């Protein structure tokens, strides 16, 4: 696809003066949104202009086309936008795989670099309720610390490691915390004690549950034989006290449906084993069941 700008005037990005004097033309090759799964390339005829400003140090400038293509970009804006959302949803590797299937030739590293480029650094503020936990830069290799504003539900900052000194330095630089929710790591407890002694330290819900399950296991482990006997007795009692199966006429519609689904499941299993089918339900397979079974037969 070949494109050229129709405007006769362009504005100097340095001084803002409009100019009509074209210096030269050159061609830019841009990847665009795919068409029917096929990659589309735009051959854009770009222009350079003479700057008309007397005091401007830039004598020649390149025409900017905001909304169409960014400066130095090799993709159209709409193509970059689509890839950006794809990367946010799927990440680098899966995003690149799907992008190639859709007709966007893109590498994983390109997607991640573009994502990092778009991320604007924001001023880090200290939240009132701070959550501290570790997270993996690369699982089983390198871990860092993640800091979250638990009231806003947002990530505040990422630290390169999970050392007490690093966390303490961050806490000192960002005063004002009232509550610090942390995991059971002693490094975070020590960092909070050292750098934010006024803050109340609490354990988060996940770690509380884990503490409780570990305490229960420790307490009950010496009695596992008694517990096993009690469990077996209760299971047998439950089986003995279960009511006999009702005749199909007294079953509710929900129960009949369940029985039908179960019989279908059994039939599928028999098909998978190449065994003759035994109809256990009181009803013959319905048309939907027949269709499913035909499909299975075709597949097997």
Judge whether 56 and 12 are in contact, CB under 8 Å: yes
SS3 state at 53: coil
49 or 104, CB closer to Zn ion?
A: 49
The rounded distance, in Å, linking the Cα atoms of 221 and 137 is: 36
Using the minimum distance from each CB to Zn ion, give the nearer residue, 56 or 202. 56
Please tell me what DSSP assigns to residue 1.
-
Structure tokens at 183: 């995991």
Residue in 34, 39, 53, 92 binding Zn ion, rule: CB under 5 A: 53
Tell me how far apart the alpha carbons of residues 185 and 108 are, in angstroms, rounded to a whole number. 34
Closest distance between Zn ion and the C-beta of residue 47, in Å? 15
If binding means CB under 5 A, how many residues of this protein chain bind Zn ion? 7
What SS3 state is found at 56? coil
Joined together, the tokens standing for residue 128 give 């009132």
Question: What residue has token string 């090799």?
Answer: 74
Q: Are 65 and 133 in contact (CB under 8 A)?
A: no
With CB under 5 A as the contact rule, the residue among 51, 65, 126, 187 that binds Zn ion is 51
Distance (Å, whole) CA 19 – CA 58: 13
Site for Zn ion in 140-169 (CB under 5 A): none
Least distance to Zn ion, CB of residue 60, Å: 9
Q: Among 1, 4, 7, 14, which residue sits at the site for Zn ion (rule: CB under 5 A)?
A: 14
Contact 272, 300 (CB under 8 A): yes
What is the rounded radius of gyration, in angstroms, for the C-alpha atoms of the chain?
33
Please pick, from the candidates 3, 5, 40, 56, the single residue that binds Zn ion as defined by CB under 5 A. 56
Among 56, 73, 61, which residue's Cα sits nearest to residue 11?
Answer: 61
Distance between CA atoms of residues 130 and 151, nearest Å: 8
Closest approach of Zn ion to the CB of residue 161, in Å: 47
Kindly tell me which residue out of 12, 86, 164, 167 binds Zn ion, with binding defined by CB under 5 A: 12
In angstroms, give the least distance from the CB of 63 to Zn ion: 13
Give least dist CB 16 to Zn ion, A: 7
Is residue 10 involved in binding Zn ion (CB under 5 A)?
Answer: no
At CA 36, angle to CA 34 and CA 38, rounded to 5? Answer: 50
Least distance CB 23 / Zn ion (angstroms):
13
- Min dist. Cβ of residue 20 to Zn ion (A): 14
Q: Which stretch binds Zn ion (CB under 5 A): 46-54, 66-74, 85-93, 128-136?
A: 46-54
SS3 assignment, position 120: coil
Stretch that binds Zn ion, among 15-23, 63-71, 126-134, 268-276 (CB under 5 A): 15-23
Minimum CB distance to Zn ion smaller for 13 or for 175 = 13
Output the six-digit token pair for 113.
């670099």
Q: Which of 3, 5, 11, 15: binder of Zn ion (CB under 5 A)?
A: 15
Minimum CB distance to Zn ion smaller for 52 or for 179:
52
The token pair at 116 is 């990092």
Give the residue with the Cβ less far from Zn ion, 53 or 285. Answer: 53
Contact positions toward Zn ion, by CB under 5 A? 12, 14-15, 51, 53, 56, 58
């Amino acid at each position: 696809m070949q494109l050229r700008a129709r405007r006769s005037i362009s504005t100097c990005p340095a001084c803002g003066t409009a100019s009509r004097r074209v210096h030269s033309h050159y061609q830019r090759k841009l990847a665009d949104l795919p068409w029917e799964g096929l990659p589309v390339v735009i051959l854009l005829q770009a222009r350079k202009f003479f700057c008309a400003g007397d005091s401007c140090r830039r004598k020649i400038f390149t025409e900017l086309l905001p909304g169409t293509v960014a400066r130095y970009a090799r993709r159209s804006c709409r193509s970059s936008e689509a890839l950006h959302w794809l990367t946010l949803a799927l990440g680098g590797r899966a995003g690149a795989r799907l992008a190639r299937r859709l007709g966007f030739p893109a590498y994983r590293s390109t997607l991640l670099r573009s994502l990092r480029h778009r991320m604007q650094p924001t001023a880090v503020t200290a939240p009132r309720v701070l959550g501290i936990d570790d997270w993996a830069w690369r699982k089983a290799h390198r871990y860092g610390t993640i800091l979250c504003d638990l009231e806003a539900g947002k990530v505040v900052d990422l630290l390169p490691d999970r050392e007490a000194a690093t966390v303490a330095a961050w806490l000192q630089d960002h005063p004002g915390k009232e509550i610090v929710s942390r995991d059971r790591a002693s490094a975070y407890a020590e960092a909070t004690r050292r750098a934010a002694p006024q803050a109340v330290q609490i354990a988060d819900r996940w770690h509380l549950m884990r503490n409780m399950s570990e305490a229960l296991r420790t307490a009950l482990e010496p009695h596992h034989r008694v517990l096993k006997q009690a469990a077996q007795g209760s299971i047998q009692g439950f089986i003995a006290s279960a009511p006999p199966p009702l005749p199909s006429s007294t079953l509710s519609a929900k129960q009949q449906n369940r029985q039908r689904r179960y019989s279908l499941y059994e039939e599928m299993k028999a098909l998978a084993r190449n065994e003759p089918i035994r109809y256990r339900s009181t009803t013959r397979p319905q048309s939907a069941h027949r269709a499913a079974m035909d499909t299975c037969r075709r597949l097997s």
